Structure 1
Amino acid sequence: MNRLKVLVADDDPNVREILRIFFQSHQYDLIEAQNGAEAVELVEREAPDVVILDVMMPVMDGFTACREILKKRDIPIIMLSAKGEEFDRVLGLELGADDYVTKPFSPRELMSRIKAIFRRIQRKPVPEEENGTVYDFGELSIHLERREVLVNGEKSVFRPKEFDLLAHLAKSPGTVYSREQLLEQVWGYDFYGDIRTVDVHIKKLREKLAILKHPYIQTIWGVGYKFEAVTGDAEND
């Protein structure tokens, strides 16, 4: 099995040194960047498996770097910051980050979160016997085997976890899921991130389905979310 390649972007050399020593001792290859611009360049040149971005960096901050990296590659990103405010966590998730770790942290915690991300990536989003299934709702079609979503007959781009969430909701129309249930069933038992990641992904799904006539993703206030396939008098959120 190939060694996991981790890119760490942090302007604090002490943080980079601590992580370098720890990760190399656990058979990880570490690539270092001093700012966000350098991180974006290294992602293209070195093709890391996961990126750790400090939020506050010179030249280019972590949020901007996250946005630029995801324009070019679909790669797991963990935001790293001394800030623990809700706004920063939600912003990082909205930009596409997979997790958010607040300083101070332990290298072991960070490694555990990386392992959790890759366990989720490797886990099949649907049972194997369902491969080849198409959920067809007319203007919206979800092809499980090809992992494609057709919106009004046109292929639409969904990130892996967005697709997993949409497919999970669509396979049981009318079923109401709490955020905790979605974290457990879509992200997995070992998910470390903020529960608000569900809300962020729901928001992204709605944006990508906004051109459709029917509001498929509906909020059940105080409970969670459901996929409503009825094309009649379903209520808007």
Structure 2
Amino acid sequence: MKLLMIDDDTGLCELLSEYLTAQGYIVECVHDGEQGLKKAFEHDYALILLDVMLPKLDGFEVLKQLRQKKLTPVIMLTAKGEDFDRIFGLELGADDYIPKPFNHRELLARVKAITRRIEHIASLSNTSSNKLTVNNIIINLAARQAYVDNNELSLTGTEYEVLALLVKNAGEVVSKEQISEEVLGRRLASFDRSIDMHVSNIRKKIAEYNNSERIKTMRGTGYVFIRGE
């Protein structure tokens, strides 16, 4: 699988490129936002590793423009302790984030969680189209598409996974811990708001077509997808 890393730290790019190549990935590196966005538009990557602090275009602007045309999975590389960067990146449609400095094995685990999802999509390409329909939401499991009132939702891969998990368990509370482990492939850390932001994004996209409440927050516990009106 081909990955794109957009980071102006050339030393880090070289180290990670060598490490991820040894794990079987093909890695391309660019060192400014403009070139990174150009590459992302011109080629199909399995995943983009995107630094926040970049010359020419910062990571937020790259992600914002990317999401206008493509839903390529993105892991944001954020400064340690910069909660705003993480939340803002998730609001713009990042699939996950990892704070610098990070352990190489932790990054590999995040990358594998997303690329496994992509491999799973490919394995479903020849299967019959199984669908779930709950409360005017249709989940096409084979095509990995979601609809509300027959309008297709423009969801990132992570947002789709979160919504599909909630719909599969409609009427039951799904904890944030379960969502994090099943969708992001990692345990939920203290004060981690990534699941909250993904759910918030899903709600906004559903509300573009239907304002009825679909996902209810169970304070301190998780979320439940409502079965009926």
Q: Given the two structures, how large is their TM-score scaled by the length of structure 1? A: 0.80
1:169 alignment partner in structure 2: 166
Q: Classify 1:134/1:178 alpha carbon distance in 2 versus 1 (closer, same or farther; 3 Å).
A: closer
* Aligned-residue RMSD, C-alpha: 2.7
CA distance in 2, matches of 1:11, 1:193: 29
Question: Matches of residues 83-162 of structure 1 in structure 2 within 5 Å?
Answer: 83-123=80-120, 132-137=130-135, 139-162=136-159
Alpha-carbon distance between aligned partners in 1 of 2:130 and 2:21, rounded to the nearest angstrom:
41
| Aligned 8 A contact 2:170 2:225 in 1 | yes
Task: Verify the 8 A CA contact 1:67 1:95 in the aligned structure 2.
Answer: yes
Matches within 5 A, 1:1-16: 4-16=1-13
Identity fraction in percent:
35
Distance 1:145 1:60, change over 3 A: same
Write the distance in 1 (CA, Å) between the matches of 2:165 and 2:109. Answer: 26
Shift of 1:83: 3.9
Shift of 1:7: 1.4
| Deviation string, structure 1 residues 15-38 (Cα, Å, up to 9, x no partner) | 222223333444432212111111
Shift of 1:193: 7.0
TM-score, normalised on structure 2? 0.83
- AA matched with 2:47: V
Aligned residues: 222
**Which 5+ residue runs of structure 2 have no aligned equivalent?**
none
Distance across 2 between alignment mates of 1:149 and 1:224? 21
CA 218–83 in structure 1, closer or farther in 2 if over 3 Å, else same: same
Is the 8 Å Cα contact of residues 176 and 225 (structure 1) preserved in structure 2?
A: yes
Q: Identify the residue that residue 225 of structure 2 maps to in structure 1.
A: 227
Structure 1 segments unaligned to the other structure (5+ residues): 232-237
Distance 1:24 1:123, change over 3 A: closer
Paired residues of 1:113 and 1:192 also in contact (CA < 8 A): no
CA radius of gyration, larger in: 1
Q: Is the 8 A contact 1:135 1:171 kept in 2?
A: no
Q: Which has the higher contact order (CA 8 A, sep 6+)?
A: 2
Check the 8 A contact 1:134/1:142 in 2, yes or no: yes
